[in-house]
Amino acid sequence: MTIIRLVKKAQRGDDKAFLKLFQQCEEDIYRMAYVYVKNKDDALDVVQEVAYQSFKKIATLKKPEYFKTWVMKITMNCAINLVKKNKKVVLLKPEFEEFVGSDDEDIPLSLSLQELMDTLQEDEKSVILMKFYNDNTLKEISEALEIPLGTAKSVLYRALNKLRKNYKKEVGYYE
């Protein structure tokens, strides 16, 4: 069954159709959330929130063929909101950290890649992830993020230049 037909069924209230749709994107949602929140538990919380938000708002999706793009935008928003909320949390004193444990082994994602992505602003990170992680076109990115096509292009190129520059710093390459 095509995505368009599943979306239309889900918009008419078919729970099973929505579940099939969501399950097709669930792994991508988790990976996208993980890039933002950097730990398994928070990423799973984001997936749950995205499921709820997308189920609740499926009727507002105007172009069924963009379901995945739409749900990834919800993912980014939920993840960013969680990151902002967590910034308000008071961190433990360093002497107590040894009792807490580590979440470093959650996903085999290169630490240097994670550090490079952390150097980007939220809009840059979103465009890079949508372009190279989800294979969205620049047109799809501009529609999903509700920005002009030219802005999507400039954000993409600015982010790529930042990543290149920071990578060269990290590996000790100097021009």
Q: What are the b/e assignments for 31-40, b being 16+ CB within 10 Å?
A: bbbbbbbbee
Q: How many CB atoms lie within 10 A of CB 53?
A: 15
Task: Report DSSP state, residue 88.
Answer: T
What global pTM score does this model have? 0.64
Could you give all domains of the chain from N- to C-terminal order, each with its CATH number? 1-88 (1.10.1740.10), 110-175 (1.10.10.10)
105-162 pLDDT per residue, tens = 444 445 467 777 888 888 888 888 888 877 888 888 888 888 899 999 999 999 899 8
Max CA pair span of the chain: 58
17-65 pLDDT per residue, tens = 999 999 999 999 999 899 888 889 999 999 999 999 999 999 999 989 8
Spatial CB neighbours of 174, under 8 Å, sequence gap ≥ 6? 168
Q: Is 48 left (phi over 0), alpha (psi -120 to 50) or beta?
A: alpha
Q: Residue 74 and residue 33: Cα distance in Å, rounded?
A: 10
